[in-house]
Amino acid sequence: MKDWNFRSEPKVEVKYDEYPHEIFPKIRYLRDLIIKTAKGSKNVTKLLETLRWGEPSFIAKNGTTIRINWSPKRPTQYGMYFQCSSLMIPTIKEIYGNVFKYEGTRAIIFDLDQKIPKKELIECILMALSYHNIKLLPRLGR
């Protein structure tokens, strides 16, 4: 069994508490899925939950940052964000096509009433968590 280290900075919990009541479970679901996926991955031994750009963010040693957020500017949607300069969204679009809704080269967007394609999203999270090990592989190794 691998050593597993997860650390969450206290300021992140403050951010979660700021989300409206109907949004909180949606964001928390994404959070839990990221943590569970990282813990189950043989390649991730440490995960840090922090705030980047005021958004809950997850950082693994060889990964690209994953952020999650909801904004009152688009009250019926929330998302999972990646570095726009990475190959994450172009690769996800190539592999999964219209399984997801996208925002440019930076995000997967979900509608509040949407059923999350869990299996596919876990694959995306795994790609992000090991991004720097796979970024030179065709289709990020998929």
Query: For the chain, which residues make up each domain, given as ranges?
Result: 5-141
> Interior CA angle at 133 toward 129 and 134, to 5°?
90
CATH 3.30.720.210 fits domain 5-141: no
Q: In a 10 Å sphere around its CB, with 0-12 CB exposed, 13-18 middle and 19+ buried, how is residue 87 labelled?
A: buried
> What string of pLDDT tens digits covers the 142 residues of the chain?
568 899 999 999 999 999 999 999 999 999 999 999 999 998 899 999 999 999 999 999 999 999 999 999 999 999 999 998 899 999 999 999 999 999 999 999 999 999 999 999 999 999 999 998 877 767 766 7
Residue 8: Cβ within 10 Å count: 16
As given in the structure block, the two tokens for residue 102 are 């996208």
DSSP label at residue 137: S
pLDDT number for residue 137: 67
Residue 107 CA to residue 79 CA, distance in Å, equals 6
Backbone angles phi, psi at 48, to 5 degrees: -110, 130
pTM: 0.94
